[in-house]
């Protein structure tokens, strides 16, 4: 024989389980590394540096400003570009390959006025 269950009890239990699943998902996302070889600490260091400057920066300047190796900085910048958190600009000189410069993608709340389509 089954014990009678009220609809409100079932709804409360479902809501509780939904909250538990969501909190576990949030905790897992905040502690996991974005992809293999990309550490959260180094990522935060580069993002912090890029937020502190408003102009496009070459990889050399970012590496020097963060104290990281050029290759490490370049790899993290490529990751940030791939997830649309950093934008890249090509600067052409007289000879050779164009120099790439990077800056954080500014959101409307970052102190800059959003562009209007006028």
- pLDDT, residue 31, reads 52
Sign of CA pseudo-dihedral 56, 61, 64, 69: positive
In tens, the pLDDT along 16-37 reads: 888 888 877 776 555 555 678 8
Q: How many CA atoms lie within 13 A of 30 on its CB side?
A: 6
Residue 64: pLDDT band by 50, 70, 90 thresholds?
Answer: very high
Task: Provide the token pair at 45.
Answer: 């260091």
What does DSSP assign to residue 84? T
pTM: 0.63
The residue behind tokens 């020097």 is 64
Residue from 100, 103, 90, 93 nearest 56 by CA: 103
Which residues are CB-contacts of 97 (< 8 A; sequence separation ≥ 6)?
none
């Amino acid at each position: 024989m089954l014990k009678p269950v009220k609809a409100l009890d079932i709804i409360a239990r479902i809501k509780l389980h939904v909250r538990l699943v969501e909190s576990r998902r949030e905790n897992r996302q905040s502690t996991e590394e974005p992809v293999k070889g990309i550490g959260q600490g180094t990522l935060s260091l580069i993002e912090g540096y890029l937020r502190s400057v408003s102009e496009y920066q070459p990889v050399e300047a970012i590496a020097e400003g963060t104290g990281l190796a050029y290759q490490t900085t370049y790899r993290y910048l490529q990751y940030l570009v791939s997830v649309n958190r950093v934008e890249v600009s090509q600067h052409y000189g007289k000879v050779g390959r164009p120099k790439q410069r990077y800056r954080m993608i500014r959101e409307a709340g970052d102190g800059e006025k959003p562009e209007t389509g006028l």
